[in-house]
Amino acid sequence: MHEILLLVTAIGAGFLGALLGLGGGIIIVPVLTLVYHIDIRYAIAASLISIVATSSGAAASYLKDSLTNLRLAVFLEIGTVSGAIVGFLISSYVKAQFLFLLFGTFLLFSALMMLRKRHEHYSGTNHPWADKLKLHGGFPEGDQWKTYKVEKVPLGLFAMFGAGVLSALLGIGSGIFKVLAMDGAMKLPIKVSSATSNFMIGVTAAASAGAFLLKGDVRPEIAAPVAVGIIIGSMAGAKAMVRMPAAIIRKIFVVVLSIVSVQMIMKGLK
């Protein structure tokens, strides 16, 4: 019965994760700890395993729909994988209470950042690195094909390092940070940011999950139903995201993050 509940919960988490480019971990870790009272370290390890599954399910759909910027994703992974290694090395020295507070504060910050008014626009100039590496691209929007440039590539790379550290510490795939960096700093369209984030989080999570597996924090009875459920949910979420307006995606993003952040901060303060 416990495994069935985990499976159903994971389907919902996978749907939201794929829809918002979060990887599902941002939903499943709070649920496992707040609802099922699972130790946060086991929840983080299970989340990282499931994030690999989420990324695989959603990424295939986004690549087919020409939303993912593959060259940019591969380049930015240099920062995220490096950060994931650093995050794992310091994870053993961080207390669970601090993890709850860090998780909740980060979610609240992310929700506030998404509330800022920013009209969907495309940069007209490339950063020199983007020109040299050909990181710009295009994507389908209705019956049109829209092109975009990529700004502030070094800042984006630095942000991805931070995302990698958070991935290993919190088991979230750091999709929020990736979306915020690509959407806000690099000026990518929100749909491209979400799709590219989904492609990247699997690699970041795999680096962190392998380390947690060696530590013995991966519990099969938790990780298995969570991973299966998130695969199912992520495929449905990826299809829904392609048809959904960007403004609605932002609103869902803010509501989900706000609710979860308050719960995690309260748990950390107790």
Sign of CA dihedral 142, 115, 179, 23: negative
Residue 54 pLDDT > 70: no
pLDDT of residue 120: 59
According to the model, what pLDDT value does residue 20 have?
Answer: 67
Mean pLDDT within 177-185? 78
Residues 6+ apart with CB under 8 A from 43: 28, 29, 32, 33, 171, 222
What is the rounded distance in angstroms from the CA atom of residue 31 to the CA atom of residue 10?
9
Encoded amino acid at 97, one letter: Q
Q: In whole angstroms, how far apart are CA 199 and each of 68, 70, 204, 254?
A: 7, 8, 10, 22
Distance between CA 208 and CA 205 in Å, rounded?
5
* pLDDT over 70 (residue 217): yes
98 pLDDT more than 80: yes
Q: Is 166 exposed, middle or buried (0-12, 13-18, 19+ CB in 10 A)?
A: buried
Q: Could you tell me what percent of the chain has a pLDDT over 70? A: 86
Mean pLDDT of the chain: 77
Does residue 119 have a pLDDT over 60? no
Query: Helical H runs in the chain?
Result: 2-20, 25-34, 40-64, 70-91, 96-115, 128-133, 153-170, 175-180, 190-215, 220-243, 246-269
Helix ranges restricted to H, 116-216: 128-133, 153-170, 175-180, 190-215
Average pLDDT over residues 47-67: 72
Say if CB 181 and CB 159 are below 8 A apart: yes
Phi, psi of 162 (to 5 degrees): -60, -40
Percent of the residues in the chain that have a pLDDT greater than 90, as a whole number: 0
pLDDT number for residue 19? 73
